[in-house]
Amino acid sequence: MEGLMDDMSTGKDMGIDLNVGLDWGMDYGDDTGGVRDSDDMEDNVDTSDSDSEDDNITNFGDDDKENISDEHLHSFETQPHSSDAPLHKDAANPAMAPPYLSMYDWTLLDKVGNGKPCSKWESDDVVGYEFETLVEAAKFYSTYGCAMGFSVRKNTHTYSKYGVKNMQRWVCSREGERQPVHNDKENRKREPRPVTRLHCPAAFKVSFVEATNRFKVKQFVPTHFHHLAGAHEVQFLSSHRKVDDASKAQIRSLRAAGIRTNQIMDYLVNCARSFQNLGFTKTDVYNFVSADRRSEILDSDSEAALAYLQARATTDPRFYCRYTVSDGGELGNMLWADSTSQLDYSLFGDVLVFYSTYKTNAYNLPFLLFISVNNHNASTVLHVLYLRMKRRRTTYGF
């Protein structure tokens, strides 16, 4: 041990930098850091925008600052960017750039902007560029938002006469303002969430050009009215927060072993050494587990329903079931009644109510009930029916 301490004390003379590795994660902050703008989780589509409004945003300049509140103007003039926000190649510390921007992402950004770093882009550097597909345009602006430190959401879109989308506009998640109905609520049970909409003018719009069969950039506004997220915060913005494929595979394996979701999250955090290195939150894990469970059910829900009814028929000799199958192999109408329901019908069938507006499931199949009233004035279900109108169908039963 003494020899080891002597070697460490003379490490400087040996040309060894003893500080290397001691500052890992020093800029990551606490484990509870990050941003979650829950108001911006959905892809809000506002069809009220018009081309004239887009032109007004595009022509934003010093003359328009008179129409902006003092608070927003101060934010625009004094806080255009946070010091460590941009993740572009000319950042002060490129080594701190997180790994969720791949080489393909950087290549996508390098194609645009006339050779300038994305932090220096102006409207003329991007307007006029053409993308092969709408998906490529969406990927570009999402990558640009990730590199600069802001969240992206859809705003408006239009369709051609053939039903094909020919225009799409994206905006910063802090565009617009919170609806007054949410600000004026009385008798709140919970504290209102912080306001995230700050009239940010940043926008990106592409339109389809038939001559070139491509999507051309018609509008690009790089201006923001708020601080941009830092390198360690971008992964917690709503549009850049996702569960990667490797984590999905781990979650599925741990679920199959019977591990609880909260324990799975703890395991993933320990593997990543920090919440900031993980790239998603506990809510994202719960959402993925829920969606994955629903997908397993949706793949075999018809078979599961028929298997359940067949099991009932084996234990109930008077169980009655009829269902139809379309030419495409889809389950159509389905009616069933057990022995108890049939007995109730023979005793209380004088009054029969056909209730067809109870509930509609994910496939838009009406759930129909045949209801009667027993001697205690209580409702009694006699028959149950799922209804789907199909012209050509084959009837089965047991």
Q: pLDDT at residue 45 above 50?
A: no
Residue 17 confidence class, pLDDT cut points 50, 70, 90: very low
pLDDT digits 0-9 by tens, 185-232: 777 788 888 888 889 999 999 999 999 999 999 999 999 988 898 877
Q: Picking from 106-115, 125-134, 267-276, which range would have the lowest pLDDT averaged per residue?
A: 106-115
Residue 125 in this model has a pLDDT that exceeds 70: yes
Question: Residue 357's pLDDT band (boundaries 50, 70, 90)?
Answer: low
* Dihedral pair phi/psi, residue 298, rounded to 5°: -65, -25
Residue 158's CB is within 10 A of a number of other CB atoms, namely 12
Q: What is the mean pLDDT of residues 53-79?
A: 37
- Residue 138 has a pLDDT of 92
Q: How far apart are CA 138 and CA 144, in angstroms?
A: 10
**Least confident segment among 10-24, 89-103, 250-264, 279-293:** 10-24
> Among 76-85, 227-236, 254-263, whose mean pLDDT is lowest?
76-85
Tell me, letter by letter, the H, E, C secondary structure of the chain.
Answer: CHHHHHHHHCCCCCCCCCCCCCCCCCCCCCCCCCCCCHHHCCCCCCCCCCHHHHHHHHCCCHHHHHHCCHHHHHHHHHCCCCCCCCCCCCCCCHHHCCCCCCHHHHHHHHCCCCCCCHHHCCHHHHCCCEECCHHHHHHHHHHHHHHHCCCEEEEEEEECCCCCEEEEEEEECCCCCCCHHHHCCCCCCCCCCCCCCCCCCCEEEEEEECCCCEEEEEEEECCCCCCCCCCCCHHHCHHHCCCCHHHHHHHHHHHHCCCCHHHHHHHHHHHHCCHHHHCCCHHHHHHHHHHHHHHHHHCCHHHHHHHHHHHHHHHCCCCEEEEEEECCCCEEEEEEECHHHHHHHHHHCCCCEEEEEEEECCCCCEEEEEEEECCCCCEEEEEEEECCCCCCEEEEEC
Supply the pLDDT for residue 362.
61
Confidence of residue 350 (pLDDT cuts 50, 70, 90): confident
| pLDDT band at residue 51 using 50, 70 and 90 as cut-offs | very low
Residue 77, pLDDT score: 35
Give the model's pLDDT for residue 65: 37
Which of residues 173 and 32 earns the better pLDDT score?
Answer: 173
The residue extents of the domains of the chain are: 31-180+193-241, 242-299, 301-397
pLDDT surpasses 80 at 149: yes
> Length of the chain in residues, anyone?
398
Cβ neighbours of residue 298 closer than 8 Å, sequence gap 6 or more:
362
Residue with the larger pLDDT of the pair 146 and 330 = 146
- Contact, 250 vs 46, CB < 8 A? no
For the segment 280-319, what is each residue's pLDDT rounded down to a tens digit? 888 999 999 998 887 776 556 777 788 888 888 888 888 9
pTM for the whole structure: 0.53
Q: How far apart are CA 336 and CA 77, in angstroms?
A: 69
**CA–CA dist 171, 224 (Å, integer):** 11
Say what the pLDDT of residue 299 is.
52
pLDDT of residue 208: 95
